Amino acid sequence: MPASAAPLRRKASNAGRFMAAASLAVLMAACNVNGTVGASPAEPGDPVETRPANAPDQQPAFENQTRAPGVVTEAELSHTVVAEGLVHPWGLALMPDGNWLVTERPGRLRIITADGEVGEPIAGLPEVDARGQGGLLDVITGPDFATDRRIYWSYAEPRDGGNATSVARGVLSDDRTRVTDVEVIFRALPTYDGDKHFGSSLAFAPDGKLFITLGERSDAPMRPQAQDLGSHMGKTIRINADGSVPADNPYVGQDGALPEIWSLGHRNVQGIAIGADGAVWTVEHGTRGGDEVNLDQAGLNYGWPEVAYGIEYRGGEINEGITQKEGTEQPVYYWDPVIAPGGMTLYDGAMFPGWQGNLLVAALKEKHIARLVIEDGRVVGEERLLTGLGDRIRDVAVGPDGAVWVVTDENNGKLVRLYRP
């Protein structure tokens, strides 16, 4: 069956599920009990990562920059597959009514209700270049969605000579079947004929500015563009909601610099979370080692490809193995080996008060949520959640009651709820 024709299935209601899960065996198959089955530290305080590093001679720049002490959530945790049959879902956004906007990379946007009813594809979206890592990517609601019904999405846009990441916005119809008044508000430049490292995550800051994360397109000839202020590649972008450039962006008025740029030196940023205080956190893919969490600040350089942890995919050092360089920022945290981070959120909810202000990072390769405990801008603990699901976790968000929701990047992609029963 072709991917576009994959069946969509609504999962049973919670009441029906609990009736069906009367036996202990079925219950255990549906739940993770006591937090992190299979991923607790061997001893209290031991790191959860036990694999050898790809670059064992590299040393962190400060304590707990990698392999932070393992922590364990003492509360009982369960997870429920709410919906499945999605084709490589990518972005997950909460709507004011408690339902979810979900993108599928082949180019479909759907609404999935909190009890698992999967809507038909929403009409009106522009064409996407759905190959490799490209396609329909992130989606978010606008800051005034309750009154103007605007949503924003990023996608690999087909163009003459190749493609690049673009961001569009449109108005969701009252019956939720289509978007109208569609306009492209940002187009990353230059166009390139490739199928990797599009980024791209979206987030609104408390002041209404829109942040967009971008990759540097992966291929060796494109890598240096992460350091080039005349290119959007490998950058974090900050624009106004209508696509115009904020006057206080760090490179406004600088010769040869694109004014939308907020920060540079990134590899492939697929997660962003902005706190109530306006602090911007991003997470990006490394090679073999070097996944990074950054506190992403205006006008700063995060090093790629001149500075990096880890090694090349083919083996060997990246730029002579340099991990620190004057004029570049250190990541707040890095993983070696990689977890392959997807989306990210800052936890803010009532269900898990001990997680307040923690970063929750979706892990694709290692198939879990990494919970990072943050104190004074540094990581002091790490836990791995949803380890029993066994699927590539693409994006993570927090529901109205504080439960954590994820989508999984699979041919049979799922919408999953992690909660405290």
Q: Does the active-site annotation cover 368?
A: no
**Could you tell me the pTM of the whole model?**
0.91
* Residue 408 confidence (pLDDT): 98
Residue 173 CB contacts under 8 Å (≥ 6 apart), including other chains:
149, 179, 180
- In this structure, is the dihedral angle defined by the CA atoms of residues 8, 106, 179 and 276, taken in order, positive or negative? positive
HEC-encoded secondary structure of the chain: CCHHHCCCEECCCHHHHHHHCCCHHHHHHHCCCCCCCCCCCCCCCCCCCCCCCCCCCCCCCCCCCCCCCECCCCCCCEEEEEEEEECCEEEEEECCCCCEEEEECCCEEEEECCCCCECCCCECCCCCCCCCCCCEEEEEECCCHHHHCEEEEEEEEEECCEEEEEEEEEEECCCCCEEEEEEEEEECCCCECCCCCCCCCEEECCCCCEEEECECCCCCCCHHHHHCCCCCCCCEEEECCCCCCCCCCCCCCCCCCCCCEEEECCCEEEEEEECCCCCEEEEECCEEECEEEEECCCCCECCCCCCCCCECCCCCECHHHCCCCCCCCCCCEEECCCCCEEEEEECCCCCCHHHCCCEEEEECCCCEEEEEEEECCEEEEEEEECCCCCCCEEEEEECCCCCEEEEECCCCEEEEEEECC
pLDDT score at 44: 78
Q: What pLDDT is recorded for position 43?
A: 83
User: What residues pair up with 373 in beta bridges, in sequence order?
Assistant: 381
Q: In which residue are the tokens 């008025």 written? A: 253
Distances (CA, A) of 113 to 23, 32, 119, 178, 409: 27, 23, 8, 17, 19
One CATH from 2.120.10.30, 3.40.50.80, 1.10.1370.30, 2.60.120.620 for 3-419: 2.120.10.30
- Which residues in the chain show pLDDT less than 50? 1-7, 9-38
Dihedral, 40, 44, 47, 50 alpha carbons, nearest 10? -60
Going from N- to C-terminal start, the domains of the chain cover 3-419
Beta carbons within 8 Å of 325's beta carbon, 6+ residues apart: 303, 306, 307
Indicate which residue of 79, 88, 197, 368 is catalytic: 197
As given in the structure block, the two tokens for residue 291 are 């996944």
Q: What is the pLDDT, as a whole number, of residue 41?
A: 83
